[in-house]
Amino acid sequence: MENLKLATLRPDRQKTTFRIGDVTVGKDFIIIAGPCAVESEAQIIASAIDVKEAGGNMLRGGAFKPRTSPYAFQGLGIKGLRLLEKARRETGLPIVTEVIDSRDVSWVCEYVDILQIGARNMQNFSLLKEVGKAGKPVLLKRGMYSTLAEWLNCAEYILAEGNPNVILCERGIRTFETYTRNTLDLSMVPAVKEITHLPIIVDPSHGTGRLSLILPMSLASVAAGADGVIVEVHHNPAEARSDKDQQMPPEMFRKFVVEMRQLQRFMQESGTRP
Ligand code: PEP
Ligand code: MN
């Protein structure tokens, strides 16, 4: 692929791996879970405990929410970050949260383990350069109208600033289909692996917007060779302040983790490779 210098697969086919908490990204299959947004102390701590007890590896939760309407809940900002820090102290789970403004990157870094760049900001080049200078791994979501080449060039922006720890995240693209919130393009998982050394995870929560489709598409992500999934979990989805239709309640997430680990184990033990 043209113009990619750092993201392309190396001659020795060595993959990018790095340690966060007790997992190695790019090697272990990681399950990142948590609410769409941090809403209150009770909510994020309960969610973090749910995620930890079920066997999730990291906690997600937005403190800055990029919403379609300016009147919708925009997130708790710094208060949300402090609550995420508290959730990490209580559970030991590393924190993944979105940053939406280049001016916030350096101080947000003090609270989080992975900086998320959302779909709407995938091509915000000043933000990409800023997270490229930050000393934290970056989860780079695919823009909803982006080609693979555009997406990988955005990863290249981060790598070119000296940050080698980029995780790609397929979260669905806009198509003519309206039954699902987006069209989850799982072909990106093997395609990314064919071209780059970067880990790729899948977000079937935003990718489908439907609770009933999250487990099947997550299992398909394992089968396709993904390095992990990021899913939304809320202790009381009906009360959620954003994305209430796609957040799994804790009981559902517990079963989800069991089924995901079972498929992973089956693939490992049987030597099934995508
Ligand atoms: C999110 O993960 O909170 C989010 C807003 O997702 P996306 O950027 O993929 O829409
Ligand atoms: Mn969401």
154-182 pLDDT, tens digit per residue, is 999 999 999 999 999 999 999 999 999 99
Instruction: Among 171, 183, 200, 231, say which to mutate for ligand 1: greatest number of ligand atoms within 8 Å of CB.
Output: 171
Instruction: Retrieve residue 218's tokens.
Output: 């997550």
DSSP label at residue 70: T
Q: What mean pLDDT comes out for the span 220-248?
A: 97
Instruction: Retrieve residue 47's tokens.
Output: 């969610």
Q: Please give the Cα distance from 62 to 84 (Å, whole number).
A: 9
Q: How far is the CA of 82 from the centre of ligand 1 (A)?
A: 20
Q: Cβ distance 218 to 208 under 8 Å?
A: no
Q: How far is the CA of 231 from the centre of ligand 1 (A)?
A: 10
In this predicted model, what pLDDT tens digit does every residue of 246-273 receive, in sequence order?
999 999 999 999 999 999 999 999 999 8
The structure tokens 């050394």 sit at 197
User: For position 273, what pLDDT does the model report?
Assistant: 86
Residue with CA at minimum distance from ligand 1 atom 5: 118
Instruction: Among 69, 98, 120, 173, say which to mutate for ligand 1: greatest number of ligand atoms within 8 Å of CB.
Output: 98
Q: Please give the Cα distance from 137 to 158 (Å, whole number).
A: 10
**Residues flanking ligand 1, CB < 6 Å:** 36, 62, 66, 98, 118-120, 141, 171, 203, 206
Q: How far is the CA of 177 from the centre of ligand 2 (A)?
A: 19
pLDDT-based confidence at residue 1 (cuts at 50, 70, 90): confident
Ligand whose nearest atom lies closest to the CA of 234: 2
**Nearest ligand 1 atom to alpha carbon 65:** 5
Q: Is the pTM of this model over 0.95?
A: yes
Residue with CA at minimum distance from ligand 1 atom 3: 36
**Nearest ligand 1 atom to alpha carbon 232:** 2
Q: How far is the CA of 148 from the centre of ligand 2 (A)?
A: 22
